[in-house]
């Protein structure tokens, strides 16, 4: 449907709905439930240079209007993603996919992105400098403008694909970090990743999650995410991908009115595996309710 189409760093999406990294696996798992080609695209599971088992269990804690996770970037490593996961995905998904990349050093990021740059299936590199669930990597790069810019420059030097830097909300000034990434060559910004949170088991009198703290996501974080997308989209000249607590078609429209050109859906996929399908199906009627002819006009009008 033409009215749902948007542009993301020069690539046209049939609609702006993108399942977020870590909530959609490598795609083929959900392809057993419905035709995932209805999606704009999706961001596959966070991938690192080497395989990672992840954090000790328990890794998940439920909470009001959301959840906390501390999975810790469990993944098979970039070489197996290229040799096994992407060929399997190709059988059920015919669109460019977004590759989410994390690392523990600048060299890690550059190596992994250089390897994924060779994959025709990969349309964008979403460089995650914001994961709160690992030590010595991820968020440590995304809380300082200079470090985030260093990662951005290193990745841009090894790839011709659009680089979208994923930022953390666990900072005092997200705008300065976004601008530093843009100045270093980022083609886009995505935000927000999860907020840092924790739960305590009252009976055991200790934290629910083995690593104590984890990433808080779900509907409760939506107002925070919306505010940050609004701030960043007005401070940078590159496209912004908004996410954080999105679970309805109305949330997608609101996020785009804040300045996002596309919208990622995260925790909602873990509650309802058909969440993104339903959002896409509901979008035309939601647009009609608010007199929106096409989605491109929302972002352009919001700036």
Q: Can you tell me the distance from the alpha carbon of 215 to that of 61, in angstroms, rounded to the nearest whole number?
A: 10
Task: Decide if 131 is catalytic.
Answer: yes
Q: Where are the alpha helices (DSSP H) in 26-105?
A: 28-31, 78-80, 86-90
Reduced 3-state DSSP string for 5-43: CEEECCEEECCCEEECCCCCCCCHHHHCCCCHHHCCCCE
Reported as type and span, the H/E element at residue 215 is: strand 214-217
| 283 close to 15: Cβ distance less than 8 angstroms | yes
Catalytic residue among 9, 113, 131, 181: 131
Q: Return the active site residues.
A: 131
């Amino acid at each position: 449907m033409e009215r749902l189409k948007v542009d993301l760093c020069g690539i046209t999406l049939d609609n702006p709905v993108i399942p977020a990294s870590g909530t959609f696996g490598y795609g083929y798992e959900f392809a057993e439930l419905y035709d995932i080609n209805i999606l704009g695209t999706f961001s596959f599971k966070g991938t690192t240079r080497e395989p990672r088992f992840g954090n000790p269990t328990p890794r998940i804690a439920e909470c009001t209007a959301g959840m906390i996770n501390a999975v810790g970037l469990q993944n098979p490593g970039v070489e197996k993603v290229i040799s096994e996961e992407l060929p399997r995905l190709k059988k059920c998904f015919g669109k460019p996919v977004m590759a989410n990349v994390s690392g523990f050093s600048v060299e890690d990021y550059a190596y992994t992105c250089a390897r994924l740059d060779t994959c025709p299936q990969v349309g964008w590199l979403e460089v995650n400098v914001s994961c709160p669930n690992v030590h010595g990597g991820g968020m440590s790069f995304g809380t300082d403008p200079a470090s985030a810019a260093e990662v951005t420059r290193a990745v841009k030097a090894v790839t011709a694909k659009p680089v979208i830097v994923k930022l953390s909300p666990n900072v005092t000034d997200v705008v300065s970090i976004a601008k530093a990434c843009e100045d270093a060559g980022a083609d886009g910004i995505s935000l927000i990743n999860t907020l840092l949170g924790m739960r305590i088991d009252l009976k055991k009198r200790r934290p629910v999650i083995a690593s104590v703290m984890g990433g808080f996501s779900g509907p409760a974080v939506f107002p925070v995410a919306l505010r940050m997308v609004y701030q960043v989209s007005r401070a940078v000249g590159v496209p912004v991908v908004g996410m954080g607590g999105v679970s309805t078609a109305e949330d997608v429209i609101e996020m785009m009115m804040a300045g996002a050109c596309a919208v990622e859906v995260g925790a909602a996929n873990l509650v309802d595996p058909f969440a993104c399908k339903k959002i896409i199906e509901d979008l035309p009627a939601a647009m009609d309710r608010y007199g929106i002819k096409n989605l491109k006009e929302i972002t352009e009008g919001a700036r």
